[in-house]
């Protein structure tokens, strides 16, 4: 938890309480359904929560923004972002049902009223549009963009000042992946935001629509 407070300070008492609860909740759920590797659970706040919040450090999500977390796994980046942005609507989707069970349990325990979730694939989401799609290392950029594009709202329908497009967290040498995607994303070096060893060669990849 200290590592979060090293980089962010403007939390309400409720947000601090919710963030502090994540450790116990993920340990408890991880015993039943393994969503975080055993070695990573001890670094939950750095490798999962702070990593997720790198999006909050670089992206303005005004109240009323609708965000889809595609392939949320155990709830990253969606749950930390939902705590950070209580007036933004988050829909967390994953094709693996037991992972959504974890998300449901944690969102319920934290009383996150701005979170919905679904056991579904991106291609199966119909009649819904989002301002932003977020994702963490789920698939190659070309696939993420192909799945996201039909789900993204036109700029004229977004809340004033809301970013629009795909924001994903990725690591390593992305040159080939970007080239194959046909996109021209902006890259943010997370190590420059949070100069911790873990964030070397980790990036926020932004494709605007």
Assess contact for 13 and 206: CB atoms under 8 A: no
CA dist 82 and 165 (Å) reads 18
Check whether 123 is labelled as a binding-site residue: yes
71 belongs to an annotated ligand binding site: yes
128 annotated to a ligand binding site? no
**Cα separation of 206 and 48, whole Å?**
19
Q: Cα–Cα distance between 130 and 75 in angstroms, integer? A: 18
* DSSP 8-state symbol, 46: I
Q: Are 83 and 19 in contact (CB under 8 A)?
A: yes
Place of tokens 């046909």: 182
Q: Residues marked as binding for S-adenosyl-L-methionine?
A: 71, 76, 122-123, 136
Q: Residues marked as binding?
A: 71, 76, 122-123, 136
């Amino acid at each position: 938890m200290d590592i979060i407070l090293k980089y962010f300070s403007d939390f309400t008492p409720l947000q601090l309480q919710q963030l502090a609860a994540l450790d116990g909740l993920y340990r408890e759920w991880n015993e039943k359904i393994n969503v975080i590797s055993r070695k990573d659970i001890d670094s939950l706040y750095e490798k999962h929560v702070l990593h997720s919040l790198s999006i909050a450090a670089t992206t303005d999500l005004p109240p009323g923004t609708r965000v889809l977390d595609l392939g949320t796994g155990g709830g990253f980046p969606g749950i930390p972002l939902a705590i950070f942005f209580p007036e933004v609507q988050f829909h967390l989707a994953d094709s693996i049902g037991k992972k959504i069970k974890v998300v449901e349990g944690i969102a319920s325990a934290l009383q996150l009223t701005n979170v919905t979730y679904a056991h579904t694939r991106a291609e199966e989401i119909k009649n819904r549009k989002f301002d932003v799609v977020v994702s963490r290392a789920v698939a190659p950029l070309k696939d993420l963009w192909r799945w996201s594009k039909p789900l993204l709202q036109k700029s004229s329908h977004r809340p004033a000042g809301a970013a629009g497009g795909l924001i994903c967290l990725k690591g390593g040498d992305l040159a080939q992946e970007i080239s194959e995607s046909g996109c021209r994303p902006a890259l943010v070096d997370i190590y420059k935001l949070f100069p911790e060893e873990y964030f070397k060669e980790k990036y926020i990849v932004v494709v605007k629509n």
